[in-house]
Structure 1
Amino acid sequence: MPTSLDHAATTPPRPEARAALTRWLEAANASSPHAAGQDARTVVEEARERVAAAVGASPHDVVFTSGGTEADNLAVKGVVWAAGRRLGRTPHLVTTAVEHPAVLAPARWLADRGEVHLDVVPPSADGTVDVDRTLAALRPDTVLVSVMAANNEMGSVNDIPALAAALRDRAIPLHTDAVQAFATLHVDVAAWDVDALALSAHKFGGPQGVGIAVLRRGLPVEPLTHGGGQDRGVRSGTFATGLIAACAAAGDAAVADRADLRARLRRLSDRLAEGLLALDGVRRNGPGDPERRLASHVHVAFDGVDPSALALALDRAELIASSGSACGSGAATASPVLEACGVVGTPLRLSLGWTSTDADVDRALEVLTDLVPRLRSGAAVVG
């Protein structure tokens, strides 16, 4: 059986999520007025309350989406469109070069269409975003700043509360993609004082196909889609009752064991990093301070190893890992995040999750300790 160290891409559903999905998979339409429909609506609204409690938000601020990508798009496009309509001129948006494509792509799409003036702030070499550098990009017409809570590739954690406090003084909304953060970090909309936040259930033990957009009441947001007006009129479409119930169940389970999971993953990731750094020509990327780095991530770069040969050899060894992120078409292209951070060498992201064990770390070290010297020497790698 393959060994997965790619939990940043997706992590297996938790038992609680599987049970909730199975129970409500055949639920009636939650917008129907009959009893079965209202039973389904009760499930949706109870899930909304549980999710809100898990992220320190009001249930009125929680909108269910198809995933993190839609949640990010809803915040970026929705806020920019609403601001442009309100101002009667082209607004200004600030984001960073290490954002997920779900933020950078819509931001650049809006800029290419002349619907927003865009500034993309470069990161520090460790993948973090400097607050002062971000504030320096602000203009009088800035209507939104979007900075991720934690980077999906290098695992770098940003100081979102400090940035939010500075922006609050300037009356500028802050959106944060917290997709990678939620599994191991305390995510609190109220404590962080952010205006919009995105989550994706399959990153914390829920099913694929459901996510969360937290949009503070009073924040003007134009919908991406129009239809029946479900979910505050911001997100039309039939409620995916089974997926939503499973999302809430996974969120409950993730919050309940988050502290223990973080400690366990920190121990595993430290052991994994120590073993990899014992090899010649290996560097760990990201912040040196463990508090500024996700406990789940180990991102390294190898000298003298061909990227394609490494990827093929890992597949043959049935070790699932990533040289970038699972957010594109699957094409073997350089990571814009790593380029922005000036990372050199052949990158490899190994990411742990709630099912990860010491045996997984042992297997990864066994495979890479064997593969890396052979790949450097040009020796054939046999699966």
Structure 2
Amino acid sequence: MSTISEAFGTERARRLRAALITAVVAAVVVYAPFYLAPFQVFQLTMVLLYAVALAGLNLLVGFGGQISLGHGAFFAAGAYTAAVMLDRYGTGHLATLPVAAAGCFLLGLGFGVPALRLRGLHLALVTLSFAVFLPPLLKRLEPVTGGSMGLTVSKLEPPAWSGLAEDQWTYFVVLAVAAVALLLARNLLGSRVGRALRAVRDNESAAEVMGVRLSLHKTLAFAWSSMFAGVAGCLYTWVIGFVSPDSFGFVLSITLLAALVVGGLGSLYGPLLGGAFVMYVPSLSQDISEAAPGVVFGLLIITVMFVAPTGLAGLPVRVLSAVTRRPLRTAGPPDGTPEADPATEAEPRSRTGSAASAPLPAADPSVADAEPVGAPPRTEKE
């Protein structure tokens, strides 16, 4: 009975602690744009934007076990979908979001077919090729995409009733979309789809024996991942107000994958930490060395990988486990004499001096003359 009550008490304390942390984070997130400069609000907006893209990549790589180096291409597809709709057709900003999400979902379904027969480095090269040839293709479709000059579109404008500045309104809109996207990713991972993705990642043969349809879930992993990237690209168009093919080179895909690894593969908080890494570390590298910011950026990634091999999301658990497993030092005797060695005390007392010199008890004649148990009877000659 006491064990059950203790378990309920622990669970209740864990829920209260989680609710308290959530409330504090929500308060900070909501009040942050009112106390920060416009550029800092823009940086927070970009962190949320990248977190959406990394949440989709986490579904594919972290939980699906498939490597993709072409995530920047899906990001570009969503960005250009929104830009073309705003520039050519004059639709509203909110109308571009479901179109970009649905279009990238279908694109991911079609691109997920090679994932059925490829894995590892072969799949990575195929996805990288998509990221490499998309920017030149966008340049050749000049009547639609604007070619090398790109497209300039209007940004989000705050309504009069909100009383917010443009950067604040954009921040709250992106925050709402990011919250819905991250909640959707969390629910997906907690559903049958998430469990099937984990099973495929751990052991495909065992997952197939258990009834998991490999072709379906591998294709759906690409589709969901592409949809999240398309949503992030649409938000990018809203925030920046300009798209060009040079903004979505293959370096973007590699940067997104590196950010996810640094943030934490297979972690729900990894995309947020990875988004902060993508946004703040390059600017920090530029401040440290204006001549070679790329070198500083690479060294920072290497340092993080040495300190936190499981990513920044797993660093607190790693530090806590290292602290709890550290042996405690016991205080010595107050008079300064050396402590007794347990191994020495465990040895036979005959080696300790006084115990060896102790006289042995006298033998009992009756006992000495007694016949041993099981001995044959003595004869008269004996």
In which range does the TM-score fall when normalised by the shorter chain? under 0.3
Structure (1/2) with the larger strand percentage: 1
Query: Which structure's CA Rg is the greater one?
Result: 2
Structure (1/2) with the larger helix percentage: 2
Using the size of structure 2 for normalisation, the TM-score is 0.20
Using the size of structure 1 for normalisation, the TM-score is 0.20
